[in-house]
Structure 1
Amino acid sequence: MVEAQHKKELERQLWNIANTLRGNMSADEFRDYILGFIFYKYLSERMENYANDLLKPDNLTYRQLTTHHQDELAAIKIESVDYLGYFLLPNELFEVLAAKGKNGEFILDELHDVLRHIEQSTMGTASEDDFNGLFSDIDLTSNRLGKNPDERNKIISKVFEHLNEIQFLLDDTEIDVLGDAYEYLIGEFASGAGKKAGEFYTPPTVSKLLAKLVTAGKTRLRDVYDPTCGSGSLLLRVAKEVGVANVGHFYGQEKNPSTYNLARMNMILHGVHYRSFSIVQDDTLERPAHRDNRMEAVVANPPFSANWSAADSFKTDERFSDYGKLAPASKADFAFVQHMLAHLADDGTMAVVLPHGVLFRGAAEGHIRRYLLETKNWLDAVIGLPANIFYGTSIPTCILVFKKQRPQADNVLFIDASQYFSKASNQNYLQNEDVDRILSVYQTRQNRDKFAYVASLQEIADNDYNLNIPRYVDTFEEEEAIDLDMVASQIAELDTEMVEIDNTIADFCQQLNIKAPR
């Protein structure tokens, strides 16, 4: 109960801070500032708590250390960089700067130095790649924050003052409370600001469905991989199913630099140790970062029908060479599927969100689809989702589930969940019961009228490997037959009533000695 109340208050405060900046810049811009400052405060609190624990035998607190305690500071830095992955001096703590700003002092220059020092403290260490450039999207000289340095200092100081009222670390609950609020804020930006702010964000219940599909029957994962990881929320949702501590390693790649920074922050905010995640910023299809890894769980919500080079050199790339054809340059959907399958372990499960077109488009895509079904036989299920559940697009989507070692290798399960959703303003969304309905059928793998159908491989071959869901799940609603005798009887009754009404009107007019209407 205390945790839920704290989370609600945290969300309220964060949204109030967003409103402080909302008039000056777009949602995706102030997102970078707020989440960056949240991350700085979180790192600061972790640093102070960790240092205080180290200093307990000396009956000192971290803030009591000064320049006269060089030996202690040096020792704490070594321990901190090894355990936390970074280091902050006592005078660099968030609360110290927040207090200065509240007192009207100019803190922008000092803040700039502190954010750089956090990154510099990791140079040459194992955590360098995970912290390098994390705060690069925070431009303290931007005119969007104010026309001059004093105006910018005032607004940043106000944001710090609000954030300083929030206690992030609550005993053993800090990760879930802050992490959930962090995701809430990202979701609010996405739903309130359209495609640009939400392009890296998968709606929570869709993430939940993907996560449960790839973790079904498992309590631990060797590793989990998302080749288009965005803010990292989908990776973390998978981890939530088995527990963060029960995931050996997190792998991800993200093309957008700002979103890549969010993903690394999100990992750390959720208690993933810097040694346990490898997230790289680059184009996944053109320059894959994890070529030698085969993961137990693979999930993704890649950009729908994106462009890619489809260069001839990819015909000899091990990810694509077996298929004989490349995905079209104007539609990279199957290129992402092929890439993900190349990184899927033999005992793993993969779930990917794609536009419906992948189910039936022809040419090269039809060739790839046929190869996947006829030669590889890795497709386990096709799940049709409702339209308009993703930010920035209203197109209907589907989830494809793949396994290289399928227990039911002679069939493919088709689920039509397109009619099971709820509406919220202009956005549709899956409810938990909708997710549970899908998962129940996926686990039992049974036919369900107008919802699910287990199709044999022969049926799919007879359909020329077209996977369009209505070919397999019959959702046609027959109209009730019209009883003509009953209709004639009802018309006769109406005629009788009309005659009676006409006679009544005529009698009434005769009494009044007026002409009855015709």
Structure 2
Amino acid sequence: MSEDQKKQLEQQLWNIANTLRGKMNADEFRDYILGFIFYKYLAEKMEIYANGILKTDGIKYKSINENTKNGAEYIEAIREEALETLGYFLKPNELFSEVAKRGNSDVEGQSNFIIEDLQKILINIQLSTMGTESEDDFDNLFEDMDLNSTKLGKTPEARNEIIAKVLLHLDKIDFKLEDTELDVLGDAYEYLIGQFASGAGKKAGEFYTPQEVSMVLAKIVTTGKSKLKSVYDPTCGSGSLLLRVAKEVKEVSNYYGQEMNRTTYNLARMNMILHGVHYRKFDIKQEDTLEHPQHNGLQFEAIVANPPFSANWSANPLFTSDDRFSQYGKLAPASKADFAFVQHMIHHLADNGTMALVLPHGALFRGGAEQHIRKYLIEDRNYLDAVIGLPEKIFFGTDIPTCIMVFKKCRENPNDVVFIDASQHYGKGTQNYIRQEDIDKIIATYQNRITESKYSFVASIDQIKENDYNLNIPRYVDTFEEEEPIDLENVSSKLINLEKEINATKSNITNFCKELNISTPF
């Protein structure tokens, strides 16, 4: 698929999404359109899989009549296979294209009211997984799609009309699922999530990390690796950051994530499945990561995160005996959970792993407990590998300056830490963005540990100690620009000439006043 075709598809989907908009805000109509796209994906995967099984019999899945004995036997056999391989099951009359057709039928005597059927089908997808390995991955996936919500229309007929219209438009789009080399739908889905994030303002940070930032994090944690046993994001949002890591390597064996927001958690699971990640290969949990961690005892080869900046957390004294925090002697402040996330991630980092996370700049230099934790990580553990300053206004809903901190338990360069000031290297827009050349420069500087005037500096551990574990980037990367020398003689000459001009103007005004026989202002 060419770049133009890709953009055309993205625009088509965005236009369809906007038919649902009405009076809903961005995060509300997002749940509907992404849910419908996901349903279409599941249905088409089901049909392709079933047709593959039926190929030797020379029949198509849609042609099976489940009301006949023979048809019922076919469907039961396919159901068992589908649950094992796909993790879910849909009957022929539950396929997306069939529902879209019924909803837009104008055949006399045939009802085109599909809301009740569609709601049952979405529930049936979940019910089909009950008692199977994939049950947790499909549990309540469609709970945010209330087809009877008055936001879709005041009357059932109005709601049915808009839903049928959306299904019809989506049904016409070919997601090319049979071409396993392409991820057309996955890319389009990511595009839509990004579009919704740009319209969601401050809320966007709850579920989306800008792709350029995701790319930097992903490239860092995959440096020197072509395969990963595991990747983990403790605040995974829509799962986009986990999927971005996968694009940097040939294979990721397992994906792990945790997300507190229920709606976003549903979106993350959909995103995984829709990108072709098998249900056995991902484990996304819904809970507060700091208060109720769900992956206890596990360690991961790559960890990435964009946690909520300076969030509140309980900082409960009981956590001083929690293995994640006990060795530090102090907990992160209750009003700033930034280093609590760092400690949590360090605990889950494998010895051969790399972790990279986005934090507000304040985490680099604030005192108290945070300084104590920084000192422990650098002096006692020597885990800090890099600090990267990012441009302003690149995150949705916040203008605060941010940075990336990189940690490793077994560092190839144990005697130094690379500091990079990438804050002045970006493209300008309503929301600033990191350009491809800026990403390449950050990664090359990190990987090669280059000192470059006004951009980067490789600091020794001793230098960091001398700065009392203050990691503020200007302490290491000198970005001071000397002002051009001022020619004082020239300035003096200009002032003298200016004084002469003023005196001449005063003299002219005085003469005019005399001619007019009025008082002079001087």
Identity, % of aligned pairs?
64
**Compared CA separation, residues 198 and 18, structure 1 to 2 (3 A):** farther
CA distance in 1, matches of 2:34, 2:312: 30
Partners of 1:360 and 1:468 within 8 A in 2? yes
CA distance in 2, matches of 1:307, 1:429: 28
CA distance in 2, matches of 1:229, 1:196: 15
Equivalent in the alignment of 1:437:
441
Partners of 2:306 and 2:357 within 8 A in 1? yes
Partners of 1:301 and 1:354 within 8 A in 2? yes
CA distance in 2, matches of 1:85, 1:448: 52
Residue 398, structure 1, aligned to residue 403, structure 2: yes
CA distance in 2, matches of 1:369, 1:403: 14
Structure 2 residue identity aligned to 1:157: A
Equivalent in the alignment of 1:139:
146
**Compared CA separation, residues 27 and 235, structure 1 to 2 (3 A):** same
CA distance in 2, matches of 1:250, 1:193: 27
Equivalent in the alignment of 2:81:
79
Equivalent in the alignment of 2:285:
280
Equivalent in the alignment of 1:124:
131
Structure 2 residue identity aligned to 1:242: V
Partners of 1:39 and 1:269 within 8 A in 2? yes
CA distance in 2, matches of 1:195, 1:70: 51
Equivalent in the alignment of 1:266:
271
Equivalent in the alignment of 1:507:
none
Equivalent in the alignment of 2:335:
330
Equivalent in the alignment of 2:109:
none
Equivalent in the alignment of 1:320:
325
Once the 2 structures are TM-superposed, how far is the Cα of residue 490 of structure 1 from its aligned partner?
A: 7.5
Once the 2 structures are TM-superposed, how far is the Cα of residue 491 of structure 1 from its aligned partner?
A: 7.9
Partners of 2:204 and 2:397 within 8 A in 1? no
CA distance in 1, matches of 2:181, 2:173: 12
Partners of 2:235 and 2:289 within 8 A in 1? yes
Partners of 1:224 and 1:235 within 8 A in 2? yes
Residue 153, structure 1, aligned to residue 160, structure 2: yes
CA distance in 2, matches of 1:139, 1:85: 24
Once the 2 structures are TM-superposed, how far is the Cα of residue 288 of structure 1 from its aligned partner?
A: 0.6
Q: What SS does structure 2 have at the residue aligned with 1:419?
A: coil
**Compared CA separation, residues 441 and 175, structure 1 to 2 (3 A):** same
Equivalent in the alignment of 1:61:
60
Once the 2 structures are TM-superposed, how far is the Cα of residue 70 of structure 1 from its aligned partner?
A: 1.2
Equivalent in the alignment of 1:460:
464
Once the 2 structures are TM-superposed, how far is the Cα of residue 17 of structure 1 from its aligned partner?
A: 1.5
208, 215, 218: which one pairs with 1:211? 218
Equivalent in the alignment of 1:478:
482
CA distance in 2, matches of 1:275, 1:74: 23
Matches within 5 A, 1:64-463: 64-67=63-66, 68=68, 69-103=71-105, 105-173=112-180, 176-243=183-250, 246-425=251-430, 427-463=431-467
Equivalent in the alignment of 1:510:
none
Structure 2 residue identity aligned to 1:443: Q
C-alpha deviations, 1:399-432, integer Å up to 9, x for none?
A: 000010111111111111111111112x111111
Per the normalisation by structure 1, the TM-score is: 0.93
Per the normalisation by structure 2, the TM-score is: 0.92
Once the 2 structures are TM-superposed, how far is the Cα of residue 217 of structure 1 from its aligned partner?
A: 1.1
CA distance in 2, matches of 1:466, 1:166: 54
**Compared CA separation, residues 198 and 158, structure 1 to 2 (3 A):** farther
Partners of 1:199 and 1:392 within 8 A in 2? no
Q: What SS does structure 2 have at the residue aligned with 1:28?
A: helix
CA distance in 2, matches of 1:206, 1:289: 26
Partners of 1:211 and 1:237 within 8 A in 2? yes
Structure 2 residue identity aligned to 1:43: L
Structure 2 residue identity aligned to 1:302: P
Partners of 1:175 and 1:269 within 8 A in 2? no
**Compared CA separation, residues 173 and 195, structure 1 to 2 (3 A):** farther
Once the 2 structures are TM-superposed, how far is the Cα of residue 171 of structure 1 from its aligned partner?
A: 3.4
C-alpha deviations, 1:260-290, integer Å up to 9, x for none?
A: 1111111111111110000001111111111
| Count, aligned residues | 497
Equivalent in the alignment of 1:4:
3
Partners of 2:37 and 2:170 within 8 A in 1? yes
Equivalent in the alignment of 2:520:
none
Structure 2 gap ranges (5+): 107-111, 506-522
Once the 2 structures are TM-superposed, how far is the Cα of residue 486 of structure 1 from its aligned partner?
A: 5.3
Structure 1 gap ranges (5+): 503-518
Q: What SS does structure 1 have at the residue aligned with 2:355?
A: strand
Partners of 1:3 and 1:177 within 8 A in 2? no
Partners of 1:27 and 1:197 within 8 A in 2? no
Structure 1 residue identity aligned to 2:437: E
**Compared CA separation, residues 174 and 192, structure 1 to 2 (3 A):** farther
C-alpha deviations, 1:305-332, integer Å up to 9, x for none?
A: 1111111111100000000011111111
C-alpha deviations, 1:146-191, integer Å up to 9, x for none?
A: 1111111111111111111111125325752111110110101111
Once the 2 structures are TM-superposed, how far is the Cα of residue 488 of structure 1 from its aligned partner?
A: 6.1
CA distance in 2, matches of 1:3, 1:272: 24
CA distance in 2, matches of 1:375, 1:8: 50
Once the 2 structures are TM-superposed, how far is the Cα of residue 291 of structure 1 from its aligned partner?
A: 0.9
Once the 2 structures are TM-superposed, how far is the Cα of residue 355 of structure 1 from its aligned partner?
A: 0.3
Once the 2 structures are TM-superposed, how far is the Cα of residue 197 of structure 1 from its aligned partner?
A: 3.8
Partners of 1:190 and 1:197 within 8 A in 2? yes
Q: What SS does structure 1 have at the residue aligned with 2:183?
A: helix
CA distance in 1, matches of 2:327, 2:384: 16
CA distance in 1, matches of 2:42, 2:101: 17
CA distance in 1, matches of 2:402, 2:352: 26
Partners of 1:6 and 1:177 within 8 A in 2? no
CA distance in 2, matches of 1:256, 1:449: 43
